[in-house]
Structure 1
Amino acid sequence: MYIKVRKIILKNWWKNSVVYQVYPASYQDSNGDGIGDLPGITKRLDYIKKLGVDIVWLSPIYKSPQIDNGYDIADYRAINPDFGNMEDFDELLNKAHKLGLKIMMDLVVNHTSDEHKWFQESRKGKDNPYRDYYIWRDGKDDKAPNNWGSFFTGPAWKYDDQTGQYYMHLFAPQQPDLNWENPNVRHSVYDMMNWWADKGIDGFRMDVINYISKPNGLPDAKKASDELYANPEPLVANGHRIHEFLQEMNKNVMSNHNMVTVGEAPAVTTEEAKKYSNLSGKELNMVFQFEHMGLDGNKNPALGHWSDRKATLTDLRANLTKWQTALAGEAWNSLYWNNHDQPRVVSRYGNDSTEEYRVLSAKMLATILHFQQGTPFIFEGEEIGMTNANFKSLDDYVDLDSINSYHQIVDEQHLLDGPTMLKYLGIHSRDNARTPMQWDDTENAGFSTGKTWEHLNHNYKQINVKKDLANHDSIFYYYQKLIKLRHEMPIITDGIYALVDGNDKDPDVYAYTRKSQDGTLLIIANYTDKELQREYDIPDNAKEIISNYSNDQGDKIRPYEAKVYQF
């Protein structure tokens, strides 16, 4: 019986783990070329260990022309030279494991780079053995095969003069989509995944994995009158063979290794998520959903997420609660505020207008998330409250999506003027997440001795790791305590989530409980910069286990205050 119980715990080790995402180009440069690299990450593993996390997720480090910052892979079994070589990776992996850290790789298999040898062969001719590795179609009336738009603006098809056909690219033209209907494609991917697993990695984060099953016949999508191209997401997300493909992947790869898997799944519903991340373990361990990331999008669909709206607590709480309750006992949640594609949460849902509010609201948001059921993900710099960069000129931006969107919305469609679009970029651009890690107040924030590939955030002298480590009331140590509590208190992993009675109608305070046989946790968070008065049923023997204020004032809830009681 003891052996059986121990095996179950090991099998589900990711349930009470915390993940730290590293964006390699922006984490630490070791050779002065202005680009972060693997030796730089290895140098900082002790810092990551000090934070207390369990898993390090590396955004793509594979060989790539970097059209989309590494999400365009030219060779899945080689390291991008900007980041180092395979020896550098082996050194990183070995040191991580010695420190008790696990390594999760980014898996990008909806598409490859057009420089991948599979695509280079595929475009040579219609009779090439690799032709069917990608999605090729004849045009219709001298136009693309259908009306789909790319997620990076423009059409989702590119004409190839050499063979007189179009190939599909849901993202950049240099990112052709793989044809998952071809079993040779699938098993080539599984072989590659097993190759990395045999090297000793501990899991995969799977980029837009729910796009891999395309609809039969590739029909036109519905298009709004003011759109140049139709949004293909309703047709490509959660396709008719997606669960078949993932179960096959699980059988060929995951079931043979005790690894963690998380699938990025745009437009996923709770019902679909229960299939992807069912506790039976037939597909993935968890998925990233984006509903709470879309609450501040523009009300004009043609503008997508480009806006200056701020999500209300009412909407945010309702969405988080929906996912907590729908998946409970059936599937597993991922918990996150930030990643490489999202703006900084303290600027987005918190308040970075003053230093006091930045610190308080960052801790408040962390408290809301880390006491919910699921596996928390922390993006580099979140643990010190890094903010949006808010660049003022289009020339400051590197992100392809941001630049393309500006030109389409301002120059082509004339939906916004330039200053308004720049304001929206300052709020939502992916560059906000990708500015170099702020280690100290020296030149280039201690990230590099050379010219950095991405502009630094101007506030690095005020916000940096060195400063946080020297202050025991910092955001860093607050995150460290949250992680420690998760490791020590099974109720955070297993407890039942419920809103406090009536809290669903409170526009300013988020209050919920976690309950198990071990007792109750009451989490209270003020989402505003106002001092509020609320009464909750708190027993006399309740113990405050964490708060972002030093002294409890009972029913009084101060600006951005967060506190957790145990009883």
Structure 2
Amino acid sequence: MNITDTSDLWWKSAVVYCLDIETYMDDNNDGVGDFAGLARRIDYLADLGITCLWLMPFYPSPDRDDGYDISDFYGIDPRLGNHGDFVEVIRTAKDRGIRVIVDLVVNHTSDKHPWFVSAKRSRDSFYRDFYVWRDEPPANEQPTVFPGEEASVWEHDPRTDQYFQHVFYKHQPDLNIANPRVRDEIVKTVGFWLALGVSGFRIDAVPFLIEPPDGVDLGDPHDFLRDLKRFLQRRSSDAALLGEVNLPFAEQLDFFGGERGGELDLQFDFMSMQALYLSLARSDPSALRESLAARPAVPDGAAWANFVRNHDELTLDKLSDAEREEVFEAFAPEEYQRVYGRGITRRLPPMLDGDPRRIRMVYSLLFSLPGTPVLFYGEEIGMGENSDVPGRGAVRTPMQWTDGKNGGFSQTSPGRLVAPMPGDGYSPEHVNVLKQRNDPDSLLQFIRHLIRRYRVSPEIGWGELELFETSADGVLAHGVLSPLGRMIALHNFTAVPVRTRVEIGAVEEGTMLLDLHGPERMALDVSGRVELELAPYGFRWLRVSPPGDTRIG
């Protein structure tokens, strides 16, 4: 691939920002965020350096699962606005160089969706086969996604005396991916939102989406993803598919389309995210290093999506029981901070006791790893969770803009807010955008700086990972190598200063290391050895600059 031709592969060097419309900015002061409010904040996102906005579900919904129980794939929740408001956000964002992708949640519908309402009326309904029905549940049921909240993935419908499948909640009946009419409806949904200007989709729970009903042979279930990607390319050559695939690396590679590609363009690296928290708990980067070493190369044009926190529980399901308990003890010692036996319902700053050194080290690592960084709204200012909100909702509180009423999110009475604000040391009084925008030493300004460094370092998005040995056990040293350039990064996971030696391999005489966070320049000997000091939880980004290199950033 000619990597100088990047126009259709924008996601390789994007900075993705995920937000929920209803918790971001309330324009009409009814307590619920809306598209008009988001439009007022596009300039903030552009100033931050965001290049891709990922919108969580905004479709009509009974809202029993924070909008993931959808009753109309073509609609807009009237609380949030209308299609005109949506298109205005798309236009405003594109004017600022920001693309917009939206959640595609088509493995199930709400039980209030007209398809399911019709399907329940009669076994002869036109929409009956849009869902998965059985006279009796199978002898060996698959486990529920939400242990403790659902006892089975099958629910009896007394009217038609059959059971319908719901891998998630019982109010979210699974769509029957084996039905060609269902696949056609999914493709029409994709085409509709593409026509309104979106640049791609984040596909929810991809392995569940392509899994055919028990006993149905569809051949290769990945054919559906390949068909979907080909449809995108016909309708919009640069539209991207970002997939939620929480599987081991070897299985994730299949969802890229194997070595040839042709399926998902981006996938979240759940394995390394979980290893990161184990390394943080141990103050030892070994677990993360092992995960990164096992990360397979991706097809041309594809990329890993790196993240620290997302909108769900912080899942630890790929760790061993003992490892998971280590992370629980370090970052979620109280039972109410855990969920489903596998996850944590806290944001990063409270887990790290608000230590700005550790927080900044983690985000430095996020932006220096090869791949595409993904931020969850509020991470840039260090928002915390509200432990009074049960489950996943604890991290989905309103965005904190000022120290004023309701954090500047809405002027309504606090009791009418879509979710309550945190009331502890992470309340808007202490953590807000306005305060940090005027503070050059704030986390917000630091994240802006990291984004600027990332965006002038295309090798991070386009390059291949290198891992280096160091003379200090607590230091992770990695590099990113591409024809566009080379950089190395070192991160100290310990609370003590260290001096470490790293060797990156033979280099041309006269090669320099340029500090990407400061003015320092240092010479490399031809063997590529360098010795550096790192502060407690310190980090360095260093560009490898051969003789004649004219890059200045």
Identify if the C-alpha distance between structure 1 residues 66 and 10 changes in structure 2 by more than 3 Å, giving closer, same or farther.
same
- Structure 2 partner of 1:466: 434
- Structure 2 partner of 1:160: 157
> In the alignment, which of 221, 236, 247 is matched to residue 242 of structure 1?
221
**2:164 alignment partner, SS class:** strand
* Alpha-carbon offset, residue 138 of structure 1: 0.8
* Alpha-carbon offset, residue 211 of structure 1: 0.9
Map Cα deviations across residues 294-320 of structure 1 (whole Å, 9 max, x no partner): 45999xxxxxxxxx9779532123223
Provide the rounded CA distance (Å) in 2 between the counterparts of 1:122 and 1:7. Answer: 51
> In the alignment, which of 165, 174, 183 is matched to residue 171 of structure 2?
174
In the superposition, the TM-score normalised over structure 1's length comes to 0.79
In the superposition, the TM-score normalised over structure 2's length comes to 0.81
Amino acid in the other structure paired with 1:317: R
> In the alignment, which of 520, 535, 545 is matched to residue 558 of structure 1?
535
Map Cα deviations across residues 514-561 of structure 1 (whole Å, 9 max, x no partner): 233455312011122222232335998322112799xxxx73321211
Provide the rounded CA distance (Å) in 1 between the counterparts of 2:133 and 2:121. Answer: 12
- Structure 2 partner of 1:265: 245
* Alpha-carbon offset, residue 163 of structure 1: 0.3
**1:477 alignment partner, SS class:** helix
* Alpha-carbon offset, residue 330 of structure 1: 8.1
* Alpha-carbon offset, residue 282 of structure 1: 1.7
Name structure 1 gaps, 5 residues minimum: 220-235, 299-307, 403-429
Provide the rounded CA distance (Å) in 1 between the counterparts of 2:464 and 2:481. Answer: 5
1:308-457 map, 5 Å: 313-323=285-295, 325-327=296-298, 331-343=302-314, 357=355, 359-389=356-386, 391=387, 396-398=388-390, 402=391, 430-450=392-412, 451=414, 452-457=417-422
Amino acid in the other structure paired with 2:142: W
Provide the rounded CA distance (Å) in 2 between the counterparts of 1:346 and 1:121. Answer: 37
Amino acid in the other structure paired with 1:113: S
Identify if the C-alpha distance between structure 1 residues 464 and 69 changes in structure 2 by more than 3 Å, giving closer, same or farther.
same
Identify if the C-alpha distance between structure 1 residues 172 and 346 changes in structure 2 by more than 3 Å, giving closer, same or farther.
closer
1:30-429 map, 5 Å: 30-139=27-136, 146-152=140-146, 153-214=150-211, 217=214, 241-257=220-236, 258-276=238-256, 280-295=260-275, 313-323=285-295, 325-327=296-298, 331-343=302-314, 357=355, 359-389=356-386, 391=387, 396-398=388-390, 402=391
Provide the rounded CA distance (Å) in 2 between the counterparts of 1:159 and 1:296. Answer: 42
Provide the rounded CA distance (Å) in 2 between the counterparts of 1:311 and 1:560. Answer: 9
Identify if the C-alpha distance between structure 1 residues 7 and 200 changes in structure 2 by more than 3 Å, giving closer, same or farther.
farther
Contact 2:12 2:462 in 1 (8 A): no
**2:6 alignment partner, SS class:** helix
Amino acid in the other structure paired with 1:106: D
Map Cα deviations across residues 236-276 of structure 1 (whole Å, 9 max, x no partner): 9xx96331111121233343212111011122533542542
Contact 2:276 2:285 in 1 (8 A): no
What CA RMSD, in Å, does the superposition of the two structures yield over aligned residues? Answer: 3.2
- Structure 1 partner of 2:338: none
Contact 2:38 2:89 in 1 (8 A): yes
Contact 2:87 2:197 in 1 (8 A): no
- Structure 1 partner of 2:449: 481
Contact 2:265 2:301 in 1 (8 A): no
* Alpha-carbon offset, residue 342 of structure 1: 3.9
Amino acid in the other structure paired with 2:97: G
* Alpha-carbon offset, residue 74 of structure 1: 0.2
Contact 1:373 1:495 in 2 (8 A): yes
Provide the rounded CA distance (Å) in 1 between the counterparts of 2:284 and 2:249. Answer: 21
Identify if the C-alpha distance between structure 1 residues 52 and 465 changes in structure 2 by more than 3 Å, giving closer, same or farther.
same
Provide the rounded CA distance (Å) in 1 between the counterparts of 2:171 and 2:516. Answer: 51
Amino acid in the other structure paired with 2:120: R
Identify if the C-alpha distance between structure 1 residues 309 and 512 changes in structure 2 by more than 3 Å, giving closer, same or farther.
closer
Provide the rounded CA distance (Å) in 2 between the counterparts of 1:178 and 1:548. Answer: 57
Amino acid in the other structure paired with 2:476: Y
Map Cα deviations across residues 420-466 of structure 1 (whole Å, 9 max, x no partner): xxxxxxxxxx2342111111111211112222222212322222111
Provide the rounded CA distance (Å) in 2 between the counterparts of 1:159 and 1:65. Answer: 21
Contact 2:55 2:103 in 1 (8 A): yes
Provide the rounded CA distance (Å) in 2 between the counterparts of 1:207 and 1:311. Answer: 33
What is the number of equivalent residue pairs in this alignment?
491
Amino acid in the other structure paired with 1:535: R
Map Cα deviations across residues 199-245 of structure 1 (whole Å, 9 max, x no partner): 111110000122123356359xxxxxxxxxxxxxxxx9xx9633111
Provide the rounded CA distance (Å) in 2 between the counterparts of 1:216 and 1:463. Answer: 47
Provide the rounded CA distance (Å) in 1 between the counterparts of 2:474 and 2:345. Answer: 17
Provide the rounded CA distance (Å) in 2 between the counterparts of 1:86 and 1:536. Answer: 55
- Structure 2 partner of 1:529: 495
* Alpha-carbon offset, residue 145 of structure 1: 6.2
Provide the rounded CA distance (Å) in 2 between the counterparts of 1:294 and 1:93. Answer: 33
* Alpha-carbon offset, residue 329 of structure 1: 5.6
Identify if the C-alpha distance between structure 1 residues 297 and 336 changes in structure 2 by more than 3 Å, giving closer, same or farther.
closer
Q: Comparing 491-500 with 339-348, which one deviates more in the overlay? A: 339-348
Amino acid in the other structure paired with 2:429: K
Amino acid in the other structure paired with 1:455: P
Provide the rounded CA distance (Å) in 2 between the counterparts of 1:18 and 1:28. Answer: 21
Provide the rounded CA distance (Å) in 1 between the counterparts of 2:447 and 2:127. Answer: 48
Q: Comparing 443-452 with 329-338, which one deviates more in the overlay? A: 329-338
**1:321 alignment partner, SS class:** helix
Provide the rounded CA distance (Å) in 2 between the counterparts of 1:336 and 1:548. Answer: 29
Amino acid in the other structure paired with 2:79: D
**2:74 alignment partner, SS class:** strand
Provide the rounded CA distance (Å) in 2 between the counterparts of 1:213 and 1:348. Answer: 31
Provide the rounded CA distance (Å) in 2 between the counterparts of 1:218 and 1:384. Answer: 49
Provide the rounded CA distance (Å) in 2 between the counterparts of 1:500 and 1:133. Answer: 52
* Alpha-carbon offset, residue 133 of structure 1: 0.3
**2:126 alignment partner, SS class:** coil
* Alpha-carbon offset, residue 25 of structure 1: 2.0
* Alpha-carbon offset, residue 183 of structure 1: 0.3
Identify if the C-alpha distance between structure 1 residues 113 and 491 changes in structure 2 by more than 3 Å, giving closer, same or farther.
same
Provide the rounded CA distance (Å) in 2 between the counterparts of 1:52 and 1:66. Answer: 32
Identify if the C-alpha distance between structure 1 residues 351 and 33 changes in structure 2 by more than 3 Å, giving closer, same or farther.
closer
Identify if the C-alpha distance between structure 1 residues 296 and 557 changes in structure 2 by more than 3 Å, giving closer, same or farther.
closer
